[in-house]
Chains A and B, each alone.
Chain A
């Protein structure tokens, strides 16, 4: 195993295609974190995998709480990432297509989402992939508990209101992170 330290030169961009966490300066590839480096000389690929993940980064699956929805965005607080509660809340947002009839998440939902990038100083999340979506939610009219009614729809057991949501396959069946339960 080859371990690179931050700032270590790993190769030149003409010779290798870098993947993972790196920076390119003057045509050279440098590690930015303590990383496990795998060089595939045949395919001309350098794979740079951080040994320690310090923060939520692009591609991570996170558990978040929806603070409010103001189309075209739903604003969320990330409470858990990589199965580990975060020390402090991190804000993010999900793009909600204004042309869509319904929002995939509602205020107060606990969702599983993927970090897809940063924009305007916030992490951008998405729930569109399979396996992602709402894990727990309540009726946003009366606050009653919801039960699955069909694919991507849930019904309030109190008022009978049907909500269209992007439900995760394990909606209501997964034990939520400790931080979410406390809130």
Chain B
């Protein structure tokens, strides 16, 4: 029998269908990195560090622009059962997905023959860690001073008990009928990531996309606040 995850319009954690989980972003937490951020999105706790642009190895060097590399890694203690620290198939896929979602927002042509490394370390995982990682990585890239066309914000929409919901938590992710992470560059009006797991009708897909866009606007405000908080504070100290 299907698990009832929405009762009287409320989800398992008490949220409405369009509500986001609590979201907190801190900027510049790692001194040695060019840029860094820490995100708490629901129960997700993720650190992102940016290194570079630095001189590229001959392998993978691009003469026209910087090469972007991403390593998404889940700490062994991030899940309920110990996770093997070796990179899994899922981690390799998410690393690629994060890189592809962020690359359109960056002006990499300014740094030919160099590479930029994005390290994503998941300290505690809940549903939607790839979306949270993209949101945090975009903030960390801005903190690193990498020129960008726009910030990228990501959120998942899904279908749970026949209802479209935004920002799925772990149980909704696992037991829901569909899960669709989307990343946006809102100022550019572009989608940089769109994946879907499960089934939705075309109408549901369109409605889900609009819900995700509304949620992304809220996330963008939080990204802005986090960056302004750090840099206004730094400027006032001068």
Contacts and interface: CB of A to CB of B under 8 A. Distances in A.
Given A6-B148, A6-B149, A87-B54, A55 B111 contact: yes
A121 B63 contact: yes
Interface stretch (B5-13, B74-82, B138-146, B162-170): B138-146
Interface in A61-89: 86-89
B59 to A, nearest CB: 15
A90 B64 CA distance: 15
Describe B's contact surface by its main secondary structure.
Answer: mixed
Contacts of B53: 54-55
Interface stretch (B175-183, B196-204, B205-213, B227-235): B227-235
B188 A7 contact: yes
A19 to B, nearest CB: 16
Interface string A2-41: 0101111100000000000101000000101110100000
A7 B141 CA distance: 13
A149 interface: no
Interface string A37-67: 0000000000000111111010000000000
Interface residues of B, number: 37
A74 B145 CA distance: 29
Nearest to B138: A6
Contacts of A86: 54
A55 B145 contact: yes
Q: Which of A6, A30, A53, A91 has the most CB of B within 10 A?
A: A6
B107 interface: yes
A51 B235 contact: yes
A5 B224 contact: yes
Describe A's contact surface by its main secondary structure.
Answer: loop
B142 A34 contact: yes
A148 interface: no
A182 interface: no
B99 interface: no
Given A34-B142, A118-B112, A6 B231 contact: no
Given A33-B142, A87-B54, A122 B231 contact: no
Interface in B79-121: 105, 107, 110-114
B228 A91 contact: no
A175 interface: no
A181 interface: no
Interface of A: 1, 3, 5-9, 21, 23, 30, 32-34, 36, 50-55, 57, 86-91, 118, 120-122
11 contacts: A6-B105, A6-B150, A7-B188, A30-B149, A33-B147, A51-B231, A52-B144, A54-B145, A87-B52, A87-B54, A88-B54
